[in-house]
Amino acid sequence: MDAISRALTSIPAAYHWPLEFCAFSTAATWILSIITFNVSQVDRVWTFLPTIYTAYYALLPLWPQEPLFPLCPYTPKALGWVVATDFSPRAVLMFGLVFVWMCRLSYNTHRRGLFNSQDEDYRWAVLRSQLPPWLFQIVNLTFIAAIQNILLLLLGLPTKVASTVQPHTALTTSDILLAGLAFVVLALEFTADNQQYSFHAYKHACLAAEKGRVESYDEKKQWPGARLKWTPEDAKRGFVTKGLWAYTRHPNFACEQSFWWIINLIPLLSPSPPDLVSQSLDSLSLLPSPSTVIHEFPHALYPFLYEIFNPLVNILPALALTALFFSSSTYTEAITASKYSQYKTYQERVGMFQFTETCMKGAWLAWKGRKAEVDAALWGKEEKVEKED
């Protein structure tokens, strides 16, 4: 305990409890993955951990100044009287947005059965088959348990800025506009989730019918926005291409990243001091010239690199999440392409996250004279034209 106490003294007070809880969560999910032979333990708490860290920072005045029991949240005295006694309206707003995010994700996770302790993300099963057992366990400890838990902690840090760095002023226009945009993004993500769920319900009903079983699909039971006209061709294709999925290959992931970028930007774009964006830009003006770096290497190299990358710390949570989604989506698509022959056609026509990429892909295929053929393979447009004729 003395060693832990000494280590905590070298860490800023605002990080004490979150780091303790993150260490506990990392150890708990890793140990459970070993005991249960199931590495999706982090996946089951993914929906809650960012909300817990956000709530901790947004509700600092509620916590005692000393922990009442192990892992009890507390507000260190070093944070100051104002932080410990006065709520930040901006931090509370961010917590409200993240709470709505948690409700959406929890609902989608529950209906997909991922809260079942026996369920494991299919990608981990594929990865397990591709790696030696010893190497997979290293990945389990480092990436699946540790790195993902650290990332989930990072998602709470924008609220830490609003609560412990900025003054607790009233909400501004930028706060309201960004909050409204966050709700729009969450609505689009909810629609994308529902469209994917609706497609798989229809697909499973079709597969059951082929095997002589009766599994009904009722379009009226689907959420508005997800009552799309699925066809047997869609089911045979194996993956969803309609609705929002016609504009990006992962509209849910695109919205997820957008949401956390908005959360990250709320304190950064606020006019309340300190102006973190301006400070980052000002620090760049203090950089030594490239010729100085070359001449004085290695003495000038460290401060040169530090001043370049230091501004990125303010957007590290969103950057880290984007990096994770890009790498995981790339791996997921490799698995999907190995299962469904038309998925490469889908990749050729539709962008991964950005609608602008989809537009450019469509223009490129039109220039090559293949757009009608590709569109027909994904959406059956030629068949519609024949019916109209």
In DSSP notation, 147-208 reads: IHHHHHHHTTHHHHIIIIIS--PPP-HHHHHHHHHHHHHHHHHHHHHHHHHHHHHHHHHHHH
Please indicate, yes or no, if residue 389 is contained in any of the structural domains: no
Please indicate, yes or no, if residue 41 is contained in any of the structural domains: yes
Query: Which is it for the CA torsion 186, 188, 189, 191, positive or negative?
Result: positive
Please indicate, yes or no, if residue 385 is contained in any of the structural domains: no
Instruction: Give the burial class of 19: count Cβ atoms within 10 A of its Cβ; 0-12 exposed, 13-18 middle, 19 or more buried.
Output: middle
Q: Which two tokens stand for residue 12?
A: 């800023």
Please indicate, yes or no, if residue 341 is contained in any of the structural domains: yes
Please indicate, yes or no, if residue 3 is contained in any of the structural domains: no
First to last CA, the chain: 79
Structural domain harbouring 262 = 170-379
Residue type for position 122? Y
Give yes or no for a contact between 138 and 66, defined as CB atoms under 8 angstroms apart: no
Alpha-carbon span 107 to 175, nearest angstrom: 27
Alpha-carbon span 98 to 47, nearest angstrom: 10
Please indicate, yes or no, if residue 136 is contained in any of the structural domains: yes
**What pLDDT, on the 0 to 100 scale, is given for residue 12?**
86
* 16 and 127 both lie in a single domain: yes
- Give every residue of the chain whose pLDDT is below 50, as ranges: 281-287, 293, 382-389
At 39, is the secondary structure helix, strand, or coil?
coil
* 177 and 162 both lie in a single domain: no
**What pLDDT, on the 0 to 100 scale, is given for residue 312?**
66
Q: Which two tokens stand for residue 372?
A: 């009608």
Give yes or no for a contact between 29 and 45, defined as CB atoms under 8 angstroms apart: yes
Per-residue pLDDT of 220-233, as tens digits, reads 889 999 999 999 99
* 133 and 212 both lie in a single domain: no
Largest pairwise CA distance in the chain: 82
* 141 and 189 both lie in a single domain: no
* 163 and 174 both lie in a single domain: no
User: Peptide bond preceding 70: is omega within 30 degrees of 0, i.e. cis?
Assistant: no
Specify the pTM: 0.88
* 154 and 46 both lie in a single domain: yes
Last residue in a domain, options 167, 201, 233: 167
Q: Quote the DSSP letter at residue 301.
A: H
* 106 and 213 both lie in a single domain: no
Last residue in a domain, options 147, 167, 187: 167
* 243 and 273 both lie in a single domain: yes
* 143 and 249 both lie in a single domain: no
* 192 and 335 both lie in a single domain: yes
At 121, is the secondary structure helix, strand, or coil?
coil
